[in-house]
Every structure is written in C-alpha cells, then in structure tokens.
Amino acid sequence: MLGVSCSKRASVEGVVRTGPEIYKASGCKTCHGDMGQGNRTGPSLLELDKHFDGKSLTAFLLDPAASIAGNSRLEALDNEYRSTMKPVTYLNAEELEVFSKWLLALPQAAQ
C-alpha cells in the first residue's frame, strides 16, 4: 500500500478556511476525486454521515489507523485502495470542526 501524504499547509492564526478550501489545499482530491466521489486511490467521501457523526469523523481524521483497527468496514476499505489515509494534524481545532461538518454534508451519492 502506498503512503499518501496530505498537504501540511499550516493554518494561519485567526483565519478559518472553508471546507472546500481545506479539501483543495490539503490535496484530498488526489485520492478522493474532485467532488469526493472517490477513485482508484481512495474511497468516496459521499454519504459519510451514514457511518460517522462529527466526533467520530474528527477522531478518524486525527488518527485514521486507530479508527480503522477493529472496524471491519474501514479495514475492508483500507485494504481495497492503494493508499493509506494519513493523520490530518495540520488543521487547527476550528478548521477541523469546519472540515468535518463539510464532509458530513457532502451530497449523497446518485441512487
């Protein structure tokens, strides 16, 4: 499995970026596609609200390996894709909350 490093662009004190700005600056589209739809490298981010709430998604972003361990659905996704999610440690607490809320509100997948 490839280790994928997200951008470590530091937060600017007093400036809170929007979810889309964080997604773009962090390079998330490399693995998850332009619209979070997923690709060969990473899973879709659509319908995350079916599997996470704000607290559990934030915990996942901060320590993906701990969230994956023992979770059969996440273990299967981790094994399916060519990259491993790295911790999102470069956002301040406010940006992390904004980003988690934005991810949970992404449009639902087409039925």
pLDDT of residue 25: 94
Q: How confident is the model at residue 97 (pLDDT cuts 50, 70, 90)?
A: very high
Q: Per-residue pLDDT tens for 4-60?
A: 445 445 455 667 899 999 999 999 999 999 999 999 999 999 999 999 999 999 999
For residues 79 and 82, which has the higher predicted lDDT (pLDDT)?
79
Q: Classify 18-104 by CATH class.
A: mainly alpha
CB 40 within 8 A of CB 31: no
Residue whose structure tokens are 């449009």: 107
- Rounded to whole angstroms, how far apart are CA atoms 16 and 31? 24
Q: Residue 57: which residues within 8 A CB-CB, separation 6 or more?
A: 48, 100, 103, 104
Task: Report which of 27, 91, 105, 24 is spatially closest to residue 61, judged by C-alpha positions.
Answer: 91
Query: What does the alpha-carbon distance between residue 80 and residue 26 come to, in Å, rounded to a whole number?
Result: 22
